[in-house]
Structures are given as C-alpha cells and as structure tokens.
Chain A
Amino acid sequence: MKEAMTIGDYRDVSSDPKAIRLSVRLPIGEIMDHWSRCGLLANFGASYLAVGCQTQKNIANSLSFILNELLENAAKYSNPKDGEIEIALLERDSTITIDIRNAIRDDQIPKLKELALKMIDQDYVNAKYIEVMMANASSRSQVKSGIGLLTIVSYFKSILSFRIAADGSGGSGVNLISVQVRIDAEELS
C-alpha cells in the first residue's frame, strides 16, 4: 500500500495543540505476556481523561471499557507481534478521542477494510450486534466478527473511523492501522 487510506471520518490527532493529550507506546509482547496490562492501562488512561470532564460521573468506567476493547483488539490482531501499539488519548472541550495504532500485514487488509466499512454504519451495527452475540452463544468458538468494535459502537454513541498506511520502518508488507473512536463525554455517563 503506497497511499494512506481512511475509512469513516478519521481525524489527525497529531496537530491539536489545545487538546489535552496522553500518548503511550508499548511493545505488544509485554501485553501478550500479561494480558491484564490492557485493563490496567485502560483504567489509567480513562481516569486521566475523566479528571478533566465536567460530568465525571462514571465517565472513567465507560472510557476504560472502550479503551480496553481497543487495546485488546490491537494486541490480538497486530502482526508482526514484535511491534508496538501506539495510544493517543485526547480531550478537547467535551470531545474525547481515542486513537490506537498497530501494525498489520498486507494480507489482513482486505478483511479489515470490509469490516471497517460495516462498522462505520450505525444501522449495520445496531442490527448486527444481537445477531453476532447469538451466533457466538450458539457456537463452540468465538465468531471472528469484530465483536469488540461492535460492542463499543452499539453501547456508546461514538464515531468510529480507520486509517491504514504503509509502515516506512516495518519492512515490506507491513502497514499501520489506526482505529479511532470519537465520543462526546455526555454519552459516557
């Protein structure tokens, strides 16, 4: 892939000097070794942002739920596994943006694009969530259907978007996928 591609209303998170910002980079291996690090990091990031929200009531809990699902997804689907996950958390006025970036291989892109196009469609998500849950419930193994992303968009009125770009440092066939969730703090409590 030569040019970056966005799906949904993806916004650059690197150029807003007025936003409160928390950025973290961590090796995927450290999460795979201790899965609870997803939750611990989600709790920390959520609490950090929630302090600045006017309506703090349980915002941290909802934010942690969203952040944890995104981190778990990034860790599971990152390829190669010796890379890093980059997390950017921003708060500007009442809008919170969570941006998670990780590496994926070329052959993961078609399926990811297909999934991303569905996930940005709120009507699809609302209709599909129960169907996927039922499919999972009646199956012995988990249906690979983006249940984490479906859950986020189904539970919280959030805007989901994606950016896929070639990774200049990761060698050929490696890309960087950014998954972004934008949400008004009022929707979290």
Chain B
Amino acid sequence: MRIEDQYFQIVYDKDKMTMSFSGSLRMNELQEFERVRKFMQEAYELEGNELILDFTGLEFMNSAGISTLCKFIFDIKEKGASKALTIMGKNDILWQKKSFENLRKIWGELAVSFV
C-alpha cells in the first residue's frame, strides 16, 4: 500500500506494521490531506497489534498536515483505540520534536520516539 506524489511518498509495510513518510507534505487545504488521513485510518484498521508512523524520512510538513495528524489521533482516542500507535521522528528536526510531543497532549497513550 502506498501513496506517491511528486514531492512525497507514503508506504505501508504490512509485515513491519509501519507506515513510512518521506519527502515534503505541504498541500494547500485540509481536504487535500484527507486521502493521507484515510490511508492512515485504513492501515490502523488492518490486523496487527500496533501501527508505527515513521516520519524520520519526512523533511517538511505544514500546519495543515500537522492538523491532519492531530485529527487522526483525536479520532482514535474518541472511538477507542484498538491497537497501539507509535510515532517516530527525528531528533534534529525541530518541527517534528515540537509537534509530535504536542500530540501526546491530545492522547496520552500515544507512544512517541525520536532517533
């Protein structure tokens, strides 16, 4: 499963239960991020006990993208989590550090790690 664009790539590896983001996610409107949110949701609803969202290859995301990620996590919290969710980011990318740490304020059960 994958979504590919000129500027970004999102690939889901079923065996590793990991969705890897790379490139730059800077679309104009939230509506354009909707297919990304649906893709994350589909992966979350697959079998397995965990979903890892790996952003270590993602250089940029705009505030609309960060809002989309917030919405995905908020929905999981509201509907009741069926599996663990982990977000992986890069230590030396400041926007990732700030935004992913904030996501834990939305859902305390979210695991966040930085490499």
- Where the two chains meet, the residues of A that have a C-beta atom closer than 8 Å to any C-beta of B are 35-36, 38-39, 43, 57-58, 61-62, 64-65, 68-69, 72, 129-130, 133-134, 136-138, 141-142, 147-148, 150-151, 154-156, 188-189
B66 touches A35 (CB 8 A): no
B81 close to chain A: CB less than 8 A: no
A58 touches B92 (CB 8 A): yes
A152 (CB) vs chain B CBs: closest residue: B63
Once bound together, how far apart are the Cα atoms of A62 and B92, in whole Å? 10
B75 (CB) vs chain A CBs: closest residue: A137
How big is chain B's contact interface, by range? 20 to 34
B71 touches A136 (CB 8 A): yes
Residues of chain A within 8 A of B95, CB atoms compared: 61-62, 65, 155
- Where the two chains meet, the residues of B that have a C-beta atom closer than 8 Å to any C-beta of A are 6-7, 24, 26-30, 59-60, 62-64, 66-67, 70-71, 73-75, 78, 92-95, 98-99, 102, 105-106
B60 touches A39 (CB 8 A): yes
How far, in Å, is A171 (CB) from chain B's closest CB? Answer: 27
B interface SS class: helix
Residues of chain B within 8 A of A141, CB atoms compared: 30
Residues of chain B within 8 A of A188, CB atoms compared: 94
Residues of chain B within 8 A of A68, CB atoms compared: 26, 60, 62
B94 touches A155 (CB 8 A): yes
B63 touches A151 (CB 8 A): yes
How far, in Å, is A14 (CB) from chain B's closest CB? Answer: 29
Residues of chain A within 8 A of B67, CB atoms compared: 133, 136-137, 142, 147
Q: How many A-B residue pairs have CB under 8 A?
A: 82
How far, in Å, is A77 (CB) from chain B's closest CB? Answer: 13
A148 (CB) vs chain B CBs: closest residue: B63
Once bound together, how far apart are the Cα atoms of A150 and B66, in whole Å? 12
A136 touches B60 (CB 8 A): no
Given contacts A61-B93, A142-B29, A155-B98, 17 further A-B contacts (CB under 8 A): A35-B27, A36-B26, A39-B60, A39-B62, A57-B92, A61-B60, A62-B94, A65-B60, A129-B102, A133-B70, A133-B102, A142-B64, A150-B63, A155-B94, A155-B99, A156-B94, A189-B92
- Among candidates B59, B62, B105, residue contacting A69 with C-beta atoms closer than 8 Å: B62
Once bound together, how far apart are the Cα atoms of A72 and B60, in whole Å? 14
Once bound together, how far apart are the Cα atoms of A64 and B58, in whole Å? 14
Instruction: Give 22 A-B contacts (CB < 8 Å), ordered by A residue.
Output: A35-B28, A39-B7, A43-B60, A58-B94, A61-B60, A61-B93, A61-B95, A65-B95, A68-B60, A69-B62, A72-B28, A72-B62, A133-B66, A133-B70, A133-B102, A137-B73, A142-B67, A147-B67, A151-B66, A156-B94, A188-B94, A189-B92
Once bound together, how far apart are the Cα atoms of A121 and B70, in whole Å? 24
A137 touches B70 (CB 8 A): yes
Residues of chain A within 8 A of B93, CB atoms compared: 58, 61
